[in-house]
Copies of this chain bind each other. A is one copy, B any other.
């Protein structure tokens, strides 16, 4: 992985996130702290990096992609805060730190999530500074992201995940949950980046296919990590999924088969990029990273 390139994107995303919060001076103190606590908790920034890398792969400029990149990270963070709540996964630790509701209380955690989700849409509806994006493209990005993270996407995936907690689901249920909880948001990140970068229909289709495969691979390796990962590196309790009797890939198809399946998805993701004429090297490296990450 070309570290310095991704570090540079990550630095731009951090600055964009700081800018977003600096521009909001009417958020009550405790709520602001709670929102920032989870946003700046050391996430990998995979989704915003995918937005930027996709925009640049189709020849677009980074500045046009940064607000939506930051928005995707805020949305990802809100899903983590709400998923950790006592009524949901009831997790005390996240990235080696107390979860939001453990630190700020349940009411503030719910509201911090609501606030981040809403702020994300406000930011996506702004014309990016230094990037000239047509208003209809911004609207399409908003629709794409909203559909991907709402009741037909991430929120729906979490609902079905909750309904099957403690029950033994089959592969079809597992795929549904993963495709909706994780896949749709990753695909939306890549497609949004493409749209903001000015991609045509063919490239958007290719990016959608890439995003779909990467999202799927991400979840397969996430399940694998939960079995074999090191608790310290993960920053949360390893084996949590099997303790809660969640359906996982290793549980359903075995560890070795899961690894093979994940690697095949990464190969297919990379294959989907072949029709794109721009510089797709970084998107390829991101797909490979998903298979190599240790936390």
Write the residues of chain A forming the contact surface with B, with a CB cutoff of 8 angstroms.
24, 26-28, 30-32, 35, 78, 82, 85, 87-88, 105-108, 110-119, 121-122, 125-127, 134-136, 138-140, 142-143, 146-147, 149-152, 155-156, 158-160, 162-163
Contacts and interface: CB of A to CB of B under 8 A. Distances in A.
Contacts of A125: 139-140, 142-143, 146
A160 B24 CA distance: 17
A156 B110 contact: no
A82 B114 contact: yes
A196 B163 CA distance: 40
Contact of A119 (B122, B150, B160, B162): B150
Contacts of A82: 110-111, 114
B110 A122 contact: no
Contacts of A108: 159, 162
Nearest to A119: B150
A210 to B, nearest CB: 22
A50 to B, nearest CB: 20
18 contacts: A24-B152, A27-B156, A28-B151, A30-B159, A35-B151, A87-B107, A107-B159, A107-B162, A111-B155, A111-B158, A113-B114, A115-B156, A118-B149, A121-B121, A125-B139, A125-B143, A134-B135, A135-B135
A188 to B, nearest CB: 12
Contacts of A143: 122, 125-126
B114 A117 contact: yes
Contacts of A114: 78, 82, 113-114, 117, 150, 155
Identical chains in the assembly: 2
Contacts of A146: 118-119, 121-122, 125
Contacts of A113: 114
B121 A151 contact: no
Contacts of A88: 107, 110
Contacts of A139: 125-127, 135, 138-139
Contacts of A31: 151, 155-156, 159
Contacts of A110: 82, 85, 87-88, 110
Nearest 3 pairs between A and B by C-beta? A115-B151, A118-B150, A122-B146
Contact of A151 (B32, B105, B142): B32
Given A82-B114, A111-B158, A119-B146, 20 more contacts: A26-B156, A28-B151, A28-B163, A30-B159, A31-B156, A35-B151, A82-B111, A85-B110, A87-B110, A107-B159, A114-B117, A114-B155, A115-B155, A118-B146, A118-B150, A118-B151, A122-B150, A125-B143, A126-B143, A134-B135
